[in-house]
Structure 1
């Protein structure tokens, strides 16, 4: 181990190109810079003769740094105090506290940030570890910062449960972690060096309520390098150095961003301002997504025959489905090896016609692609000769290694394609375009962790898209393996857009660095294992991934590897999956048998005894598709995750949410502050204890139990013995919630155009035409007003609608206002068009449903009928 502290710095003038930066340099050629890119976003760089700036394209925030006013600047005493401009207390609508920066370079550089509150002493919210803040390691930088034991630590992308990362150590890299332990395995598939520290509200006096006191600011740290790294969040204890967090980057210089916000949501929004907002997911990819390796691997009957029968199976079982994933079985050669961009014409004699079968049924198609070639791949020599493979500098030859290639788990010799090379990118683009021309709608980038474990390997780095400003060969360790993951996503994305520029491209990726998610709209938790522990761990993994801007995230429902799930486990996984942004049932069960005795995958209808429950859950997901689509828009516009930790936003001051029972538990928001999802995650769990979050001591809101008539409960209360029968999770709607709902089937948002015609020119067939789709011509609103007797509380909910398909869609924003009428047994509801040109098919009428068991009427209704044995009230949209 090497940890050599950097010392001897002196204040120097900032160069012209770094205007407004605070710059220090030492005699050994190491340069430290501090700059403010925005009021709550600071950038630190530390580079030297053998620690070059990290090459990347992760940061998208443009514009010159803002000036930091000098409160004190004493070069002789080697200290300074800096503040952002006094008129810049917020950035982009997010909350940023007033703060000042103290920097001391007497020994090592020590930077501290203090929150400024009128009438109170400055409060430190961030600090370097004295005497050991910035150190050289073998080939990179190690960074020590103070650890606050009274803080919650979240983020780091895709990490095992529980949600609190404190006192744990993580590897920042991607690995093919098939069958991982959802609590213990590390690393998994993603490279996301973004860590948020959130102060816990402390109740020192039992008569005092911490919700009445302002919290210290939340602070995020992001390291923009794609080099492999480790984050030690207080696990390593070394008493002489005080308590610390430790970030250890393996190669190159440091580029660190400190993001300051009033709370977690503000830090996440600041991170999104820095690296880019989540992509807008096409609407069809919000529904049930089918998959299964067993179907695509079949030789008898052939895979195309099996897959082409999928729409009829969905029709038989009355289960809506929006898309099918094609495993890499379509690329398998006569030896059983996977050869990307080739076609097994025996299994798939007419691939294009199979795509048309799905399209007529209203289902999209995405094929699996892998960024490597075996030595006997038809294009291996072509890629080798073109310089599209990585180079081993010790031999001067292309890197050949062991690669997963066949079933079950067989490896063969081959090469990863260097997607920083122009030749590699050209080949990849041609392959993607070939698939699009066969009719596929999207691309599934898989096995893209680029498992090359020698930092000395050379990337060509000669493409127009390469992240390094200086073109030419570069060491893999410095540029980072997952730069290739990012380039793979970019080329896939750009090829889809090139062929269909009017359609919203959809790339699904298994692995990712931060830059990848500018091109890939969705990801998932990889090859999980079928067991209750995986189901339980998926909750925390999902929440940390989403707040790390992987906001269209989910798990393989039912478990990918291992045995078939029991009927009970499968039901519980589906119930969780339908509340996550990405809902896909996927598996690999080559040696398992379903009740009929056939080799199988996880399929919705595999257990007839529970298929009715599965159907109801999936249909409810489709009813809520307008709600999910709005969450998708809020994610895209404001970086608000569809699922959030219970302490998100205004709930952060509730001290109960920081208790071990909650942090190690499994509850979360679906739609921040709207639906509280309280699942069953243990065998035979038919009841459980639930806490209802509050915003303050004065919070008088109630929660409606969605499954219990007249089930109204006060915020801030614990409920014992909440019912969780196999038929459903427990779920609560907070007072003020409104849920736009639609039909419980695959729906078409327009009667002509891209919403009803796929890229290969196929028109989707509706039910009336013998197909499976219906028109999105009915809109309901489930509203949850104040309970009877609690008048005077008015609520407003806004949602966005669009065609769900277009790359640059027209939109319409709608607003519903509702509240209990005074002295009457009724609720007043009004809906209006707020803005936009899009004309949904359901206009001009909306149907209002009150909570289960609520016998009040809607005073503004123009018509009354029944829906699901409940009264619904029609109102016209103004």
Structure 2
């Protein structure tokens, strides 16, 4: 066992600092004022820099060319240090990095002296006799831990031991199963005593383990540790002090969420059932779309399960169309588009040895090799023995793109569903090309799904240069958000899955993956009972990926209308989803710009409220909407804690509640409990039924003006890359309070297909307006609601809901609306 205990030598190269200890070498790089890189190797020299995960670096890296369109190279901060006898000190504008000489340990503090990261002295960096690497950190009773990618259970992972490994976990228990499909070695530590958040990303793709205080020894202070099966300890410390700062800085490092086409926010139909029919699966899917239309249920796409690839022997062969089920794929895609729906076919990276294309890939050396590099490695897979495409090999990437293009993308398909890409290769010594370096698969397993998604993205963009690809991935590593939307795999059909899939999604959002969801209704198990199905759809409408998908074990298919007497509840929920599309699309843009999650834990928005430290199931949708879905069978009432620091308004009734209290209210099967935060600015579309085809000419804003705030309404054509050339419209809507309320609309961008009619529902908590002006021109006030409905411009006060309804023709420039709330003294008049 090797343990670093003593500094032997220090050498400063100005933009990095090298330290030799009695057991290992260290390189310290101050990437910026908030991010510190600590690289540790127990070998003689550091390995060549070669990261697929990082998009911000300050050094040369072997992947610079592969990632040239994504990577930003910055200049690191000077590593000039002070020698303070027991330790040396490096500094940024926000942090001090204290490196102790003996016993060797690194401690990071903010400028107020708060310790935000501290190694466990005498046990900080360890390599054991099996080659495993450990990093031990001190922890306090007031520490809470969030993130870790896709993990089961409650949001706070304190006292948890978790394994990082990609696994096909069909029918998993969303409270206990570990690991799941994603491998994202990043977490956020929040110290509730000093109210400071920080994060650590371990840029290591070997299998690893996090122990967040589960292990305890009386000989040491309380600690957590990270253990990797190989590689180096490549640690990126990320400072907050707010949780949202950590997420922003982490996504600066590993990439922001890709802005997908707008239709990805629509309801995406899916089931394995249709593609397993003996014939005419294409007709069944087209009939599904027609029935959605007939039932008044919006739908914008269909995820095509792998049954479409079934060969004559009944096995699935990627890139192979089954023409009994799909007679003319190109024409089928055309008919789907005519009905306003995209098609996302399922593809898998494992190719059975009986695959018609197996030999071509094998002879090209495109598969992962055995440990002797003599032949393609085979392992168990769907249908038998298979080899796996090596996406770290240019030959593998080239062939994959060739066949993806020929079989799917050339048919007009721009949406790809990457599935079963966990790379469960049991022989860990199998060799990957790794851009010519050659490395065992155990070092690169979770990288493969990221590169698979990148290949899908590139293929679509090569065939249709100006069309936005829509890629969906099941597995992934840090940075998967740059290429794909993800989902939480093959969940079990149960009330528990409904409930615990929420913190799974919230944890992903805190880990940089803002665009994800789960299979609504449950994937594996019998059909959901009616009440469970309704509640799941009511919850699923808030997830960025909204798809009802199933592989029911009782010969049924989960469809929106499967329980006719409950269809109205399903339809109402899905139509609410479509109302929220302008808000959701703006949140997707925000995620692409700043990394912010779309579904946010309450602690993310209300870091000062200590009652939220363990809240796992209620969440914020963006900045303004608190969602408290009904998650219990047979519920008649629902309790909700409303965070302090805001006033809250019931979505439906606009009833007012002060924050910092728990309320209880009655619920029915139609209930979707939602609360508006004071200062809310929420754009909605009341007549949207299809994102592909409907031109939303009307936009409503729900505004609560008691608190100053702002929101960026984002609009573009939703499908092309023209937004990269400023063909977008960003409207910064802000609430200003000074002698009344001013609502400012500041516009930026060249997208000119703006909505024609604007309406505002202005929530008036205490008093109705006495006057409203548009561009300094007094608007007409109407006392009769029918008269108000007949005109194009003016306002009306709804006394029951305490809402001032304002409407006017949209203005294609920046403008203001002024609201005067002065109380008119009628008696003295």
Structure 1 residue 376, shift from structure 2 partner: 0.6
2:789 paired with 1:865 = yes
How big is each residue's C-alpha offset from its partner over 1:2-44, in whole Å with a ceiling of 9 and x where there is no partner?
A: x532344312324x5xx4322211466x311111100110001
Structure 1 residue 72, shift from structure 2 partner: 2.6
Distance in 2, Cα, partners of 1:59 & 1:46: 17
2:350 paired with 1:335 = no
The equivalent position to 1:63 in structure 2, one of 74, 87, 97, is: 74
The equivalent position to 2:382 in structure 1, one of 401, 404, 414, is: 404
2:565 paired with 1:609 = yes
SS at match of 2:31: strand
The equivalent position to 1:185 in structure 2, one of 174, 177, 183, is: 177
Equivalent position of 1:703 in the other structure: 648
Equivalent position of 2:672 in the other structure: 729
SS at match of 1:240: coil
Could you tell me whether the CA contact under 8 Å between 1:51 and 1:140 is conserved in 2? no
2:698 paired with 1:687 = no
Distance in 2, Cα, partners of 1:567 & 1:231: 39
- Normalized against structure 2, the TM-score is what? 0.89
SS at match of 2:313: coil
The equivalent position to 1:784 in structure 2, one of 679, 692, 704, is: 704
Distance in 1, Cα, partners of 2:766 & 2:335: 45
Distance in 2, Cα, partners of 1:413 & 1:285: 35
Equivalent position of 1:768 in the other structure: none
SS at match of 1:338: coil
2:391 paired with 1:419 = yes
Distance in 2, Cα, partners of 1:436 & 1:873: 46
Structure 1 residue 570, shift from structure 2 partner: 0.7
Could you tell me whether the CA contact under 8 Å between 1:130 and 1:241 is conserved in 2? no
Equivalent position of 1:849 in the other structure: 761
Distance in 1, Cα, partners of 2:19 & 2:195: 29
Distance in 2, Cα, partners of 1:330 & 1:737: 46
Structure 1 residue 51, shift from structure 2 partner: 8.1
Distance in 1, Cα, partners of 2:266 & 2:767: 32
SS at match of 2:135: strand
Distance in 1, Cα, partners of 2:276 & 2:269: 15
Structure 1 residue 443, shift from structure 2 partner: 0.6
The change in CA–CA distance for 1:820 and 1:317 in structure 2 (over 3 A counts) is farther
2:127 paired with 1:136 = yes
Could you tell me whether the CA contact under 8 Å between 1:128 and 1:146 is conserved in 2? yes
Distance in 2, Cα, partners of 1:26 & 1:690: 53
Structure 1 residue 216, shift from structure 2 partner: 4.3
The equivalent position to 1:477 in structure 2, one of 436, 442, 467, is: 442
Could you tell me whether the CA contact under 8 Å between 1:288 and 1:320 is conserved in 2? yes
Equivalent position of 1:642 in the other structure: 598
Equivalent position of 1:147 in the other structure: 139
Structure 1 residue 173, shift from structure 2 partner: 1.4
SS at match of 1:647: helix
Distance in 2, Cα, partners of 1:640 & 1:835: 21
Equivalent position of 1:526 in the other structure: 489
Distance in 2, Cα, partners of 1:83 & 1:745: 53
How big is each residue's C-alpha offset from its partner over 1:139-180, in whole Å with a ceiling of 9 and x where there is no partner?
A: 342111112221110011100120001000111111001000
2:168 paired with 1:176 = yes
SS at match of 2:652: coil
Equivalent position of 2:549 in the other structure: 586
Structure 1 residue 493, shift from structure 2 partner: 0.8
The change in CA–CA distance for 1:50 and 1:569 in structure 2 (over 3 A counts) is farther
Equivalent position of 2:34 in the other structure: 40
The change in CA–CA distance for 1:777 and 1:171 in structure 2 (over 3 A counts) is same
Mapping for residues 221-236 of structure 1, pairs under 5 Å:
221-236=200-215
Distance in 1, Cα, partners of 2:386 & 2:709: 60
Distance in 2, Cα, partners of 1:327 & 1:360: 21
Distance in 2, Cα, partners of 1:846 & 1:707: 21
Q: Kindly tell me the number of residue pairs found equivalent between the two proteins.
A: 768
SS at match of 2:525: coil
The equivalent position to 2:721 in structure 1, one of 807, 817, 820, is: 807
Equivalent position of 1:714 in the other structure: 658
The change in CA–CA distance for 1:817 and 1:856 in structure 2 (over 3 A counts) is farther
Equivalent position of 2:752 in the other structure: 839
Equivalent position of 1:125 in the other structure: 116
Distance in 2, Cα, partners of 1:518 & 1:149: 35
Structure 1 residue 851, shift from structure 2 partner: 4.5
Structure 1 residue 438, shift from structure 2 partner: 1.1
Could you tell me whether the CA contact under 8 Å between 1:777 and 1:840 is conserved in 2? no
Structure 1 residue 257, shift from structure 2 partner: 0.2
Distance in 2, Cα, partners of 1:25 & 1:733: 55
Equivalent position of 2:400 in the other structure: 428
Distance in 1, Cα, partners of 2:243 & 2:21: 36
Could you tell me whether the CA contact under 8 Å between 1:620 and 1:744 is conserved in 2? no
SS at match of 1:573: helix
Structure 1 residue 321, shift from structure 2 partner: 0.5
Structure 1 residue 871, shift from structure 2 partner: 7.8
The change in CA–CA distance for 1:382 and 1:775 in structure 2 (over 3 A counts) is same
Q: Give unpaired runs (5+ residues) of structure 2.
A: 57-72, 774-778, 783-787, 791-795, 816-829
How big is each residue's C-alpha offset from its partner over 1:24-77, in whole Å with a ceiling of 9 and x where there is no partner?
A: 11466x311111100110001112437854742211112232014523354xx5
The change in CA–CA distance for 1:666 and 1:783 in structure 2 (over 3 A counts) is same
The change in CA–CA distance for 1:314 and 1:711 in structure 2 (over 3 A counts) is same
How big is each residue's C-alpha offset from its partner over 1:491-520, in whole Å with a ceiling of 9 and x where there is no partner?
A: 111001101111112111000011333222
Structure 1 residue 397, shift from structure 2 partner: 2.7
SS at match of 1:495: helix
Distance in 1, Cα, partners of 2:272 & 2:360: 30
Distance in 2, Cα, partners of 1:113 & 1:425: 42
Distance in 1, Cα, partners of 2:198 & 2:745: 39
How big is each residue's C-alpha offset from its partner over 1:470-504, in whole Å with a ceiling of 9 and x where there is no partner?
A: x23222223x2122212211111100110111111
SS at match of 1:488: helix
Equivalent position of 2:153 in the other structure: 161
Aligned CA-pair RMSD: 2.3
Could you tell me whether the CA contact under 8 Å between 1:46 and 1:254 is conserved in 2? yes
Could you tell me whether the CA contact under 8 Å between 1:125 and 1:216 is conserved in 2? no
Mapping for residues 274-353 of structure 1, pairs under 5 Å:
274-300=253-279, 302-353=280-331
The change in CA–CA distance for 1:609 and 1:820 in structure 2 (over 3 A counts) is farther
How big is each residue's C-alpha offset from its partner over 1:74-115, in whole Å with a ceiling of 9 and x where there is no partner?
A: 4xx5x212222xxx3xxxxxxxxx3312111313x2111122
Could you tell me whether the CA contact under 8 Å between 1:293 and 1:587 is conserved in 2? yes
